[in-house]
Structure 1
Amino acid sequence: MTADHKIIRVIRGRRPKVVVIGGGTGLPVIVKALHNQNADVTAVVTVADDGGSSGALRNYINVVPPGDIRNVMVALSDMPALQREVFQYRFASTDSFFAGHAIGNLIIAALSEMQGGIFSAIQQLSAMMQVDGHVYPACNTPLTLNAEFSDGSTLAGEAEITAAGKMIKRVWVTRSDNGGQPAAEQEVIDAIMDADVVVMGPGSLFTSILPNLMIKNVGDAVLKTKAEVIYIVNIMTQKGETDNFTDADHVRVLHNHLHQDFVDTVLVNIEHVPVGYLDTQKYTEISTRPVRSDYAGLRKMGCRVISSDFLELRGGGVFHDGNKVADEIMNLAFQANLKNKR
């Protein structure tokens, strides 16, 4: 299937409504595959990132970090390839003034300043980029990720939390401007409540997925929605976050943070990762240990488990096969719609 070819699938005259919540490199892969299968995709993207080009821009002009948002917009864009490539272009390190910045990040930062916030800026830019679907920042203001570790100590900042190398007990988010309680825009809540399925992951459990759910009205909406709630378990554990975690440990952390068992279905990869395949120099945040399966633990929490070969190996990295994952999500969307119609 080519990038421009879509599988046309509809639910009673409309496209399946899929909300994907998360951040990081896994999110655009899943979003792109769902887009190619004709899903009506809404991506709710974390705004608590403080690293790389996004972090630098945030420090200079106090803008919501745009990197994850930029990648998702490109994944859903129907613009010609050249325009998408220009938007993604990252200046070389020799260009000292622009070093490391992606053009798209600069455009998002500029529009955010012009519009007085990132939410309306992204909606305007989505129209310009022919985005098929919706891209919603989880919050209209920059957020700070906070963590408490098992030893009782606390830290603020995504990069600092991951680098601490301690076992994380819980995380929460605060507004970076005043330390107050953040809230998502109403469009985010409406999308979650109106979805056929709500998908979380793949992505860093504590720094890409939970920051969204810790925005109170987002977490409340995920608990209240009639949509099927799906969690895509990471294939490998992550250094400084989920060392030695099983798939059930991941779900247990999600449930503990929202104080309720809410994940309906879990997608688990069962294909073996070849020993020594992972390029640990390139993918420094990923552990060489695959996430172990605890089927009994998942069933005890009431989760339906879908186990399959979701593995894609490329460039020394270990990824989810977006098309295979999208197939399962779309099937679950149809099942959820039928159940809710009864």
Structure 2
Amino acid sequence: MSGRTAVTLFSGGRGGAGIVRGLLGTPGIDLTILVNGYDNGHSTGALRRYLPGMLGPSDFRKNLLVHLDDGDPRQAALRAVLEHRLPAGTTRERLGELTDAIGSPDGGTGPFPSLPPSAGAAIARDLTAFLRRLDSRPGGLDLTDCALGNLVLAGAYLRLGEDFNAAVRACARTFESPIRLLNVTNGENAFLVALKQDGRLLADEADIVAPQDTAAITDLFLLNVPLTPTCRAELAGRPAEEVRRALTRRRAAVSLNPEARDAIRDADLIVYGPGTPHSSLLPSYLTPGIADAIAESRATAKVFVVNKRDDHDVQGLSAPELAGLTLAYLGDPGNARATVTHVLSHRAPEAPPVPSDVAVSGVWAGARWLTADLEDPARPGAHCGPCTVRALAGIAGEAALARAR
């Protein structure tokens, strides 16, 4: 890649971390990562219930630490804050003591002695905002196993007038992120639900990522309120179409973040990154207006990177079927709008299979299909950042030349 190259990557939490590090290590890259906030795991779900209206912070937290180098003591301290889990029995008072230690003038004491003073002050400011909420609503949240970084994001959310996107921007500054990290929406609260082929519900994001049978997920919904146990019981056993209608009536109204729209339109390269499809990636594509922004983008290449291995939510799907899900959720099932110009898949027996006709022709649904060795030898199952970025650079360069002819 020559000159400055604007890359916009659709991502989840850790699935694209190797690729992100590879992009950050490439000179001339201006990287934007687009993430949704529908995560609802154990401690994250508890935090969202405690702060009604707030999206899930976990995937944003994971992207805030991807650039941090454990070999640099100050960066290692920033990472430690983001990943620190509060032990069982943590009280409001104990969290207050930890906050005081982080904000101490010498740049952090206790478990984070190398924390930069400016970052420590900003982190303590946001944790203090969260502590004030605990004081006003005591007993509503078990702090056990809460990620401290999630609480920093929650405190920034409260401090900034319950503006989730502003909280993400503020924390990106605090943790010195070189990435432009954006929520795909304007911050409207929504809850992710999936419907299986036989009408069974996966009632939240945590269910979607959990082990499950091989029955296909056919629909995703963003709801304005979480499904209650009573509602789940009422829908259990009903025909799929009846459940679909009931969930459609509960849809949340979400809107495209203008910054995300501009990052898509102004990208030179769009990457649909790897990750758990039905929790991390496909929900982002439900955002109204996002498909049009992709169609209007100046990007010469729009590359779908195939997962290296199966996830629970897409067991047994081939690589073309995975790419087809992205097209379907972006409203372009036949790829008539060139939503995907290239597909990049890993060459290995454990990777989602590529049909022989696709492998031989190198073409699928009007898109170029490329297969390469993309595995990180040090982390089996993960993408090798430099290898994948080299492949992406080759795709982008070839596409730019083709457009210039």
| TM-score normalised per structure 1 | 0.82
Per-residue deviation, 1:341: 5.0
Shift of 1:148: 2.6
Distance 1:175 1:217, change over 3 A: farther
CA distance in 2, matches of 1:10, 1:170: 41
1:150 corresponds in structure 2 to 197
1:277 maps to what in 2?
A: none
C-alpha separation in 1, matches of 2:55 and 2:403: 36
Query: What's the CA shift for 1:16?
Result: 0.9
Which runs of structure 2 are paired with 1:107-256 in the superposition (5 Å)?
107-115=152-160, 116-139=162-185, 140-163=187-210, 165=213, 166-176=215-225, 179-227=251-299, 228-239=301-312, 241-256=313-328
* In structure 1, distance between residues paired with 2:256 and 2:393: 26
The 1:295/1:108 distance shift into structure 2, 3 A limit, reads farther
Aligned Cα root-mean-square deviation (Å) = 2.5
What does the per-residue CA deviation read over 1:97-127, in whole Å, with 9 as the maximum and x for residues that have no partner? Answer: 5332222111111001111211111112222
More strand as a share of residues? 1
Report deviation, 1:181.
1.9
In structure 2, C-alpha distance between the alignment counterparts of 1:30 and 1:181, rounded to whole Å? 32
Select between 160-169 and 125-134 the one with higher mean Cα deviation: 160-169
CA distance in 1: counterparts of 2:205 and 2:175, whole angstroms: 29
1:268 to 328, 345, 362: 345
Contact 2:6 2:30 in 1 (8 A): yes
Shift of 1:91: 2.1
Does the CA contact (< 8 Å) of 1:212 and 1:219 recur in 2?
no
Distance in 2 between the 1:220 and 1:258 partners? Answer: 9
The answer (yes or no) to whether the contact 2:188–2:253 under 8 Å persists in 1 is: no
1:27 matches 2:28: no
Q: Is the 2:68–2:76 contact (alpha carbons within 8 Å) kept by the matching residues of 1? A: no
Q: Aligned in 2, Cα 1:144/1:341: closer, same or farther, shift over 3 Å?
A: farther
SS at match of 1:266: strand
The runs of 5 or more residues in structure 1 that have no matched partner are 1-8, 274-289
- C-alpha separation in 2, matches of 1:53 and 1:337: 45
Counterpart CA distance in 1 for 2:374 and 2:170 is: 35
What is the aligned partner in structure 2 of residue 301 from structure 1? 365
Shift, 1:340, TM fit? 4.7
Write the distance in 1 (CA, Å) between the matches of 2:378 and 2:40: 27
| SS of alignment partner, residue 20 of structure 1 | strand
Distance 2:331 2:278 in 1: 16
Cα distance in 2, alignment partners of residues 101 and 230 from structure 1: 35
Instruction: Give the 3 Å change call, closer, same or farther, for CA 77–176 of structure 1 in structure 2.
Output: farther
Aligned length: 313
SS at match of 1:183: coil
Q: 1:295 to 1:255 in 2, by over 3 A?
A: farther
The answer to which structure has the higher helix fraction is: 2
Counting aligned pairs with the same residue, the percent is 23
**Is the Cα–Cα contact under 8 Å of residues 18 and 382 in structure 2 kept in the other structure?**
no
What's the CA shift string for 1:182-203, capped at 9, x where partnerless?
1121000000000011111210
Structure 2 segments unaligned to the other structure (5+ residues):
92-142, 227-249
- The residue identity in structure 2 corresponding to 1:332 is I
Q: 2:376 aligns to what SS in structure 1?
A: strand
**SS of the residue 1:142 aligns to:** coil
Larger radius of gyration: 2
Residue of structure 1 equivalent to 2:33: 43
In structure 1, distance between residues paired with 2:38 and 2:287: 11
Contact 1:264 1:304 in 2 (8 A): yes
1: distance between equivalents of 2:173 and 2:182?
A: 13
Moved more, 175-184 or 110-119: 175-184
Offset of residue 318 of structure 1: 1.5
Amino acid at match of 2:63: V
Note the alpha carbon deviations across 1:110-168, whole angstroms, 9 max, x for none. Answer: 00111121111111222232221300012213321232321234443112234453311
TM-score normalised over the length of structure 2:
0.70
